[in-house]
């Protein structure tokens, strides 16, 4: 299958995130939640992943009192959360979760920097799945262009009935 101009950034980020998770040695609930949240954001979009990864990288290993001061969740207005408020709340939760983790090792910090760099380079590029949809590839790939539509057998018609 020819993909075209799409990139492998999502796959590479997924591999780097798995390596980072292994280095964190997800011993406790907090570290598992951090990794699960990063995985969820990567599945959402590289843009969402880049934003959440930046929050995590900034706060991982930080002192708790500094993180709490910068992570106060926004108040909901009377009409509920809008998308911006939801993002702020998600950022606040990631900050609080990440600050409780130990400072990353040199290898883990290096992986964080590689993921951040790749995510920043790719955050505005269309994902492969979006590129496939926008080019109509999915609609045209169901059947090779040189083959005819499958023919269904003609329905049997009842013969003349005796009166």
pLDDT at 152 over 90: no
Measured CA angle at 5 (ends 50, 113), to 5 deg: 25
pLDDT over 80 at 151, yes or no: no
User: Quick one: average pLDDT of 39-68?
Assistant: 85
By three-state DSSP, how is residue 46 classified? helix
Answer whether residue 16 shows pLDDT above 60: yes
Task: Report the percent of the chain where pLDDT is more than 70.
Answer: 57
Compute the mean pLDDT over every residue in the chain, rounded to the nearest whole number: 74
For residue 80, what are the β-bridge partners? 77
pLDDT in tens, 109-138: 999 999 999 999 998 776 555 444 444 444
**Side-chain half-sphere exposure of 121, counting CA atoms within 13 A:** 12
In this model, does residue 49 exceed pLDDT 90? yes
């Amino acid at each position: 299958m020819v993909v075209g101009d799409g990139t492998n950034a999502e796959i590479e980020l997924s591999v780097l995130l798995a390596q980072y998770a292994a280095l964190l040695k997800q011993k406790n609930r907090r570290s598992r939640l951090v990794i699960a949240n990063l995985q969820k954001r990567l599945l959402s979009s590289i843009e969402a992943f880049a934003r959440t990864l930046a929050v995590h990288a900034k706060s991982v290993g930080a002192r708790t009192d500094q993180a709490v001061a910068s992570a106060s969740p926004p108040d909901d207005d009377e009409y509920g959360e809008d998308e911006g408020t939801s993002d702020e709340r998600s950022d606040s939760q990631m900050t609080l979760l990440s600050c409780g983790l130990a400072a990353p090792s040199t290898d883990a910090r290096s992986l964080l920097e590689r993921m951040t760099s790749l995510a920043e380079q790719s955050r505005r590029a269309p994902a492969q799945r979006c590129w496939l949809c926008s080019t109509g590839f999915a609609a045209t790939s169901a059947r090779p262009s040189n083959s005819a539509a499958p023919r269904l057998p003609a329905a049997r018609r009842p013969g003349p009935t005796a009166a």
